[in-house]
Structure 1
Amino acid sequence: MNVFSKFGLKQVVNASGKMTALGASAVHPEVARAVSEAAQDYVEIDELLVAAGREIAKATGAEDGCPTTGAAAGIAIATAAVIAGTNLSLIERLPRPAGVPDEIVLQKGHSVHFGASVTQMIALGGGNPVEVGHANHTEKAHLTEAVNDRTAALLFIQSHHAVQKGVQSLEAMKEIAAAKGIPLIVDAAAEEDMRKYIALGADLVCYSGGKALEGPTSGFICGRKDLIEACRAQYKGIGRAMKVGKEGVVGLLTALARYGAKEETGGEQKARMERFLQLLEGVPGVKGGISQDESGRDIYRAKLEIDPATAGMDAKQLIKRLQSGDPAIYTRNHYSNVGIIFIDPRPLLPNQEQLIADRIRDIISKGSSI
């Protein structure tokens, strides 16, 4: 039983990852205590945002930072900031800026859907998204030729959702941004390195607080001081509809402070998943292996290849049966169409590997009669 049971909801085992649809992360008790304490007290929010910016700067190596409700809100607010700056009249006109540069240039292979469309987040901030190149092939010329006097910024999406080959690198986009005198925004929502993209020269970087950081639903933008000041200014405009509360800010900062003492490395994830695969040895039609995250992050998952002829069902049927149980088990299913299921160790609570292995073994032993 858990807190959600009182609302008639069944328990969920999250083997999918830090997924918004499953509540992102289960926070550390220290983070939960900080959220609770903040929720029961008062603070001047404007001062809290500035203080939070200082802590974010320390953690990321940036000049300043701005808390948000999440990385998606970060994209919208960062877009608004490069278009309107701190000009209140412009801020209040968004998302229809009219008469100022508002084009946000991104590679077509980066025009992703992460549960919503990244181009819609740009539009919420008053930006006009300009996709260049092709889904699997973008040349530097595609980007340089797209920049004109209406361009407000370049946007780079660092995500497993994005095309990983045939696209221009962050370094290449930084060169273009510097040569053209425009900012480079990076969406690094689920990335684990909080310093990398600032060190590579990005002007604004958007992170999720509820994914790699394992904080509450939250996020932050870090970057150039003048642009972060403009980000905070958007809370008098479009940011008001996505304002972050005191408990979200304090939970975020607590998770950020804990992040340096992260308990599990990629090597430990591999070892953990190897032990999980041992629990599945001998299950008909299930071939196990270890796979690194497709975007190169230091994340390792168990890879299960399902042979329908031997297992008595295909990957999608197995997924459906895992999700229909109580507790419902959610796996990582981006490649289920080719018979592959992934198990992500990061969100699993203690002893849940055994529960998942037992459920898979039971489902396959009963076969299509279920």
Structure 2
Amino acid sequence: MTIALKNLPQIQTLLTYPAIAALVDLFSHTETVDALRGVIADLRAAILAEDAALPDFESAVFAATVLHRIEARRAPSLVPVINATGIIIHTNLGRARLAPEALQAMHVAGESPSNLELDLGTGKRGSRHTHVETLICELTGAQAAVVVNNCAAAVLLSLMATAQGRTVVASRGELIEIGGSFRLPDVIAQSGATLREVGATNKTRISDYDEAIDDTTAALLKSHTSNFKIIGFTAAPDRRELAKLAKQRNVILMEDLGSGVLIDLSPYGLGDEPVVGEILKSGVDLVMFSGDKLLGGPQAGIIAGRRDIVAQLKSHPLMRAVRIDKLSLAALEATLRLYRTPHDPLRDVPVLAMLSEPIEAVEQRAREMMQALWDVGITDVDLHNSTAYAGAGSLPQQDLESYAVSVSVPHLSADALATALRKATPPVVGRIERGHIMLDARTVTAPEVSLVARAFARILTP
């Protein structure tokens, strides 16, 4: 072992070998040196573990090892993943799948110059907001709308433009925390407004809001508890009550939906998510919701409501810092158009299609996945009833009936198999239950079934 360690060559020596010098010419000196250091470090560790002999450092085989390391470092970090978790809008896996129309719109917007901020009629500078504002108003009944880069930015902008230096009244039961430990009270503080909490965690009455309003009050803030549910001894005023109070006391009523849907999902057993249009009809002045959750589009924060308030937001200095980019804007416009006839969003928007897919179709795909796994030599597979979820803080108490395939591979624990699947190309992400990998068919598309089987085949024959 000591002799082998002493015979490890210096990096400068390796760089003189023709096969390695060719890598310097093909890539760069820095990349090649970094790769060589990594390969030598691996060799040193293997020798210390008495698990390796020295290779022929001048050979094409050794150069290929270095090349593989360079290519691995150059490979894209963001890669496609097969979502077999049963969570449709999985934040860690990129949230909503985009429709083909949205992807094509992004391609067109990225490939060529566009009229992003040019009025083609007058030849003068235009506004990027006009590309989707009419669509949003048509689909929600809002007087006006504006779009920013995400829903948190939408809340922050709305508060800064309307309540900076004043107070915002909110129920204690709605002071939510979203992913990444971002808390609504902190957002309110950053906006320059002062939070006035009312009610109790489980019960807030209209009188609590009424008593909290004074000359400093700018807005009542309602937050849809889209990522948790309080059940039992609870009470909260109806939106219409809050809207009536806000109008009487001359303050704004705004609601942070977090997610937000444009159509009624109750026929599919998903009735806990309020429809944006119905919220505005109830008298709420301003609604903020996401583009990349139940709407099924790209990351975006959509603000819809009263024309005069939206005008304030458009002219606020923060607007430029949180504005939506052209690719997301193109994808959002294309997604919104799928809500218009003759399109059917339940068919054409992937998130809604997965949510509403009949259980019989999910079962059939699960059985096809079982067969595909048998065909590549995986014998320990079984079909199970499963529960899927919308995810991303949407419909927290709504279970979706589903089917999943449980899989085991000899000599690999469930954790080891999960790791191997994440390292596959493309990576496959499932869940572990009772010592088995579970692959939920509600979030695996038909074209992905063969890719799942291929990943297992490679694990069997590395």
TM-score with structure 1 setting the length? 0.71
Aligned to 1:108: 173
Aligned to 2:107: 36
Identity %: 20
C-alpha separation between the residues in 1 aligned to 2:109 and 2:82? 29
Aligned residue pairs, count: 334
Matched letter for residue 328 of structure 2 = G
In the TM superposition, what is the alpha-carbon distance from 1:137 to its structure 2 partner? 3.4
Q: What secondary structure does 1:205 align onto? A: strand
C-alpha separation between the residues in 2 aligned to 1:217 and 1:167? 33
Going from structure 1 to structure 2, the CA distance change for 1:274 and 1:68 (only over 3 Å counts) comes to same
Aligned to 2:236: 168
- Does the Cα contact within 8 Å between 1:273 and 1:302 map onto a contact in 2? yes
Going from structure 1 to structure 2, the CA distance change for 1:196 and 1:277 (only over 3 Å counts) comes to farther
Aligned to 2:395: 295
Matched letter for residue 68 of structure 1 = V
Aligned to 1:199: 281
Matched letter for residue 118 of structure 1 = L
- Tell which has more relative contact order, 1 or 2 (C-alpha 8 A, sep 6+): 1
- Does the Cα contact within 8 Å between 1:184 and 1:203 map onto a contact in 2? yes
Aligned to 2:155: 75
Q: What secondary structure does 2:446 align onto? A: coil
C-alpha separation between the residues in 2 aligned to 1:154 and 1:357? 53
C-alpha separation between the residues in 2 aligned to 1:105 and 1:57? 27
In the TM superposition, what is the alpha-carbon distance from 1:182 to its structure 2 partner? 1.8
C-alpha separation between the residues in 1 aligned to 2:171 and 2:287? 15
C-alpha separation between the residues in 2 aligned to 1:243 and 1:273? 39
C-alpha separation between the residues in 1 aligned to 2:184 and 2:104? 33
**Aligned mate of 2:257, from 173, 188, 192:** 188
Q: What secondary structure does 1:206 align onto? A: strand
C-alpha separation between the residues in 1 aligned to 2:218 and 2:324? 25
Matched letter for residue 283 of structure 2 = G
C-alpha separation between the residues in 1 aligned to 2:380 and 2:197? 46
Going from structure 1 to structure 2, the CA distance change for 1:82 and 1:322 (only over 3 Å counts) comes to farther
In the TM superposition, what is the alpha-carbon distance from 1:61 to its structure 2 partner? 0.9
Which is greater in Rg?
Answer: 2
C-alpha separation between the residues in 2 aligned to 1:7 and 1:124? 35
* CA-based RMSD: 4.3
Aligned to 1:53: 133
Aligned to 1:88: none
C-alpha separation between the residues in 1 aligned to 2:246 and 2:304? 18
In the TM superposition, what is the alpha-carbon distance from 1:10 to its structure 2 partner? 5.2
Q: What secondary structure does 1:65 align onto? A: strand
C-alpha separation between the residues in 1 aligned to 2:455 and 2:295? 30
Going from structure 1 to structure 2, the CA distance change for 1:296 and 1:147 (only over 3 Å counts) comes to same
Aligned to 1:124: 190
- Does the Cα contact within 8 Å between 1:277 and 1:289 map onto a contact in 2? no
**Aligned mate of 2:145, from 58, 62, 65:** 65
Going from structure 1 to structure 2, the CA distance change for 1:275 and 1:176 (only over 3 Å counts) comes to farther
C-alpha separation between the residues in 2 aligned to 1:324 and 1:119? 40
Aligned to 2:121: none
Give 1:1-370 correspondences, 5 Å limit.
6-9=75-78, 11-14=80-83, 15=85, 16-39=87-110, 40-41=112-113, 42=115, 43-44=117-118, 46-83=126-163, 97-98=164-165, 101-115=166-180, 116-165=182-231, 166-171=234-239, 172-193=241-262, 194-234=276-316, 237-260=317-340, 261=343, 262=345, 263=347, 264=353, 266-275=355-364, 288-290=385-387, 295=395, 300=400, 302=402, 327-330=426-429, 345=442, 348-352=444-448
Range with greater deviation from structure 2 (108-117 or 219-228): 108-117
C-alpha separation between the residues in 2 aligned to 1:5 and 1:349? 29
C-alpha separation between the residues in 1 aligned to 2:366 and 2:238? 36
- Does the Cα contact within 8 Å between 1:110 and 1:156 map onto a contact in 2? no
Q: Which runs of 5+ in 2 are unaligned?
A: 1-72, 119-124, 263-275, 348-352, 372-378, 407-411
In the TM superposition, what is the alpha-carbon distance from 1:70 to its structure 2 partner? 1.5
- Does the Cα contact within 8 Å between 2:260 and 2:289 map onto a contact in 1? yes
In the TM superposition, what is the alpha-carbon distance from 1:63 to its structure 2 partner? 0.6
C-alpha separation between the residues in 2 aligned to 1:102 and 1:268? 45
Going from structure 1 to structure 2, the CA distance change for 1:351 and 1:81 (only over 3 Å counts) comes to same
- Does the Cα contact within 8 Å between 1:135 and 1:163 map onto a contact in 2? no
C-alpha separation between the residues in 2 aligned to 1:127 and 1:5? 46
1:187-236: CA deviation from partner (whole Å, max 9, x where unpaired): 223222342321222211112122223322223111011111112112xx
Range with greater deviation from structure 2 (62-71 or 268-277): 268-277
